[in-house]
Amino acid sequence: MRLSRLLAAALVTSVASVGVAACGPTEEKKSADAAPAAASPSPSGAAALSAADLIKKAEEANAKVTSVKLTFDVTSEGTHVSGTVAEDKSGNCVGQVSQGDQGGFDLMRSGTTVWLKPDQVFWEKSIGAGTSKTMAGKWLKGGGDNAAVKGMATFCDMGLEALKQLGKKEDGSDDTAGAVKGGTKQVGSANAVVITDKDGDTSAEIAIAAEGEPYLLEMTVTGKEPATMTFTDFEKPVTVTPPPAAQVVDASKYLKG
């Protein structure tokens, strides 16, 4: 199993999508809390299972998840992106994304409607010089008809998508061959069983809850492009409160797509 592939598949689209916004105003514009794996911890038999069988159990548990909070920190092709996003299967999402010295943005989604609140650095470096002076504190509102907005909103799907991909290749076939158990660890307040993988100079591990539902709790890759994804707040409601109308601006005026 290639755990580094799993991380890459979950992150590459979202990391790349941040760059979509770096197009300036359109021509129309002239001017880790940690959560236990289950509410009632009980032995899941995880420690007694083989690595492949434990991954399959985690696949079954992950498939039932309807909401989760993802905390991520990844370096991909020289770009460092980090953030925290709570999301659910209904399309609700609340979070923050940072692209290091390129700035960051707050993110909300309700159904197909997306709100983005860039910080000063993101306005200047990724949207357009001088925009932060007039747009500080404003939210950009858009939907699926705007490619830039849609791309940035892919962070809202990253957590559930990563859970769904565990143990599978890109074509959906089994990808548990070569998985090796590597002991146990604490992920926040939860006990977890570790499964490791190595591919050349890249080492990776996943941590699966040892008590309660065998959810995937963490994925970590070390090497030239280190990355970590941590999953918490399973099945907790995701509440989206749209910003006041006075703080909202049409995203199409600033983001092409």
CA distance 138 to 221: 36
Q: Residue 129: what pLDDT?
A: 87
Q: How far is the CA of 208 from the CAs of 38, 45, 200, 211, in angstroms? A: 12, 12, 24, 9
Q: Residue 202: what pLDDT?
A: 80
Report the CATH number at residue 78.
2.50.20.20
CA distance 124 to 30: 16
Decide: pTM greater than 0.75.
yes
Q: Residue 6: what pLDDT?
A: 55
Q: Residue 230: what pLDDT?
A: 97
Q: Residue 46: what pLDDT?
A: 77
Q: Residue 161: what pLDDT?
A: 92
CA distance 155 to 98: 11
* Strand 67-76, strand 79-88: pairing: antiparallel
Q: Residue 37: what pLDDT?
A: 41
Residues of the chain with pLDDT under 70: 1-44, 257
Q: Residue 197: what pLDDT?
A: 83
Domain range for residue 45?
3-31+34-253
Q: Residue 5: what pLDDT?
A: 56
Q: Residue 138: what pLDDT?
A: 95
Domain count of the fold of the chain: 1
Q: Residue 42: what pLDDT?
A: 43
Q: Give the containing element (helix H, strand E) for 135.
A: helix 131-135
Q: Residue 69: what pLDDT?
A: 98
CA distance 150 to 112: 9
Q: Residue 31: what pLDDT?
A: 38
